[in-house]
């Protein structure tokens, strides 16, 4: 592999500085490393998918953290109330932080998945080529992506937690009127949180996130690739088919890990809630699960699940489909070719 790259790159660079415009366009993709292409493809897919479902994401967070005035409403009534209080802009509040987070997250997630997959195939051939490879690679990639982008997810949650009334006042989503901080954007959230508790505060809730993302990311890639294997090769390029098994992958992966996502959200917004008896800080994931069940009931572990199904199905469907299409446009070689080159 090393010798072939050594002979190809100089010729590609030579073509890049050639006077022909056509040669420039082709050779620019040729000299771009596959890592970079995978990062671009993953980041673009993540941003597109996240923005498409931003209104549902906002409502989901408001339901998860028992927002005053929203926890007893359904999805459509919540959307209607949010529109009345904040206008269309309210649907996308926190989406800036979400997109800023999802671009590096999705880029790292997809790229790391591809590379971990090749690494496992090259070094652990005894595992074969079955779906177990996708499960392990997806889980490892999800963990890396979360650790690198978690503070942005924390900022997104805190911004989405605050509801602005139509008159401009802020409803802090609580059941009393204790004064709480108002944030002026992503940078302000990160600065304030860091001042309060340092790096540890920026990673508040990362425990349940990791515990949840490892099986979720692994199952998502496992189900997606396994469904593709059962579809005739001539049908695999169909956008409808890609959307279908991308949606199913997200649906099953989410359902198995959703309660951990509720614990994560509540840990992230604890500093915005009053410290009252019965609302103790969660020291770890297990304590968070126990306290939520005891104080709020077991149903709270699934608060917002229906809207998350509505959100995750199109989100993962769009994400997987956009990634596959970006790979085609960026001329990323199919995995079979990647494996054969790596093996060679």
pLDDT surpasses 50 at 296: yes
pLDDT surpasses 80 at 180: no
pLDDT surpasses 60 at 17: no
285-299 core/surface letters (b: 16 or more CB in 10 A; e: else): beebbebbeeebeee
Which one has a higher pLDDT value, 101 or 318?
318
- The whole-model pTM stands at 0.69
pLDDT surpasses 60 at 19: no
Q: Where are the domains of the chain?
A: 33-165+183-272+280-330
Q: What count of other Cβ atoms lies within 10 Å of the Cβ of residue 308?
A: 26
Give pLDDT, residue 122.
87
pLDDT surpasses 50 at 339: no
Q: State how far the Cα of 132 lies from the Cα of 219, in Å rounded to an integer.
A: 10
Across 116-120, 152-156, 163-167, least confident range: 163-167
Average pLDDT over residues 115-144: 87
pLDDT in tens, 253-270: 888 788 887 887 777 676
Q: How far apart are the first and last CA of the chain?
A: 6
pLDDT surpasses 70 at 119: yes
Average pLDDT over residues 176-185: 58
pLDDT surpasses 80 at 283: no
Which one has a higher pLDDT value, 166 or 28?
28
pLDDT in tens, 204-229: 878 878 887 888 888 888 888 888 88
pLDDT in tens, 230-255: 888 777 778 888 888 888 888 888 88
Say if residues 158 and 183 touch (Cβ distance below 8 Å).
Answer: yes
Strands (E), the chain: 163-164, 170-171
Give pLDDT, residue 67.
64
pLDDT in tens, 53-91: 888 888 777 776 666 666 667 677 777 888 888 888 878
Give pLDDT, residue 72.
61
37 Cβ contact list (under 8 Å, min separation 6): 29, 327, 330, 331, 332
Give pLDDT, residue 162.
64
What confidence tier does 16 reach under pLDDT thresholds 50, 70, 90?
very low
List the structure tokens of 6. 């050594």
Average pLDDT over residues 136-155: 90
Give pLDDT, residue 3.
44
Say if residues 227 and 248 touch (Cβ distance below 8 Å).
Answer: yes
Across 107-121, 200-214, 274-288, 296-310, least confident range: 274-288
Q: Quick one: what percent of the chain has pLDDT higher than 70?
A: 74
Q: State how far the Cα of 89 lies from the Cα of 99, in Å rounded to an integer.
A: 15
178 Cβ contact list (under 8 Å, min separation 6): 172, 274
Say if residues 37 and 332 touch (Cβ distance below 8 Å).
Answer: yes
Say if residues 152 and 101 touch (Cβ distance below 8 Å).
Answer: yes
Helical axes 239-268 vs 131-161, angle rounded to 10°: 50
Say if residues 300 and 322 touch (Cβ distance below 8 Å).
Answer: no
- Mean pLDDT of all residues belonging to the chain: 76
Give pLDDT, residue 336.
53
We find that the CATH architecture of domain 33-165+183-272+280-330 is Alpha/alpha barrel (1.50)
Q: State how far the Cα of 71 lies from the Cα of 62, in Å rounded to an integer.
A: 7
Across 283-292, 310-319, 322-331, least confident range: 283-292
Q: State how far the Cα of 107 lies from the Cα of 36, in Å rounded to an integer.
A: 9
Give pLDDT, residue 110.
93
Q: What is the CA 2 to chain-centroid distance, rounded? A: 34
């Amino acid at each position: 592999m090393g010798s072939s790259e050594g002979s190809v790159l100089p010729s590609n660079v030579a073509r890049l500085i050639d006077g022909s415009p056509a040669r420039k366009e082709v050779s620019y993709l040729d000299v771009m490393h596959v890592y970079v292409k995978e990062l671009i493809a993953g980041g673009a897919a993540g941003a597109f998918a996240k923005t498409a479902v931003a209104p549902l994401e906002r409502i989901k967070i408001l339901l998860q953290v028992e927002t005053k005035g929203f926890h007893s409403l359904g999805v459509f009534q919540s959307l209607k109330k949010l529109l009345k209080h904040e206008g269309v802009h309210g649907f996308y509040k926190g989406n800036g932080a979400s997109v800023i987070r999802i671009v590096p997250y999705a880029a790292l997630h997809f790229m790391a998945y591809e590379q971990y997959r090749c690494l496992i195939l090259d070094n652990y051939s005894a595992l074969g080529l079955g779906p177990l490879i996708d499960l392990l690679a997806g889980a490892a990639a999800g963990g890396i992506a979360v650790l690198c982008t978690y503070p942005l997810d924390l900022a997104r949650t805190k911004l989405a937690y605050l509801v602005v009334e139509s008159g401009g006042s802020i409803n802090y989503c609580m059941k009393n009127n204790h004064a709480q901080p108002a944030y002026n954007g992503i940078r302000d959230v990160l600065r304030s949180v860091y001042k309060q508790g340092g790096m540890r505060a920026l990673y508040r809730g990362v425990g349940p996130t990791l515990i949840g993302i490892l099986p979720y990311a692994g199952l998502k890639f496992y189900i997606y690739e396994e469904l593709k294997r059962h579809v005739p090769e001539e049908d695999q390029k169909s956008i409808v088919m890609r959307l279908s098994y991308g949606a199913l992958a997200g649906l099953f992966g989410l359902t198995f890990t959703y309660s951990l996502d509720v614990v994560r959200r509540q840990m992230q917004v604890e500093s915005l809630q009053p410290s009252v008896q019965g609302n103790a800080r969660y020291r770890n994931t297990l304590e968070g699960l126990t306290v939520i069940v005891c104080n709020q009931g077991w149903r709270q572990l699934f608060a917002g699940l229906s809207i998350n199904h509505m959100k995750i199905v199109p989100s993962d469907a769009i994400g997987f489909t956009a990634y596959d299409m970006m790979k085609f446009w960026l001329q990323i070689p199919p995995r079979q070719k990647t494996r054969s080159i790596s093996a060679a």
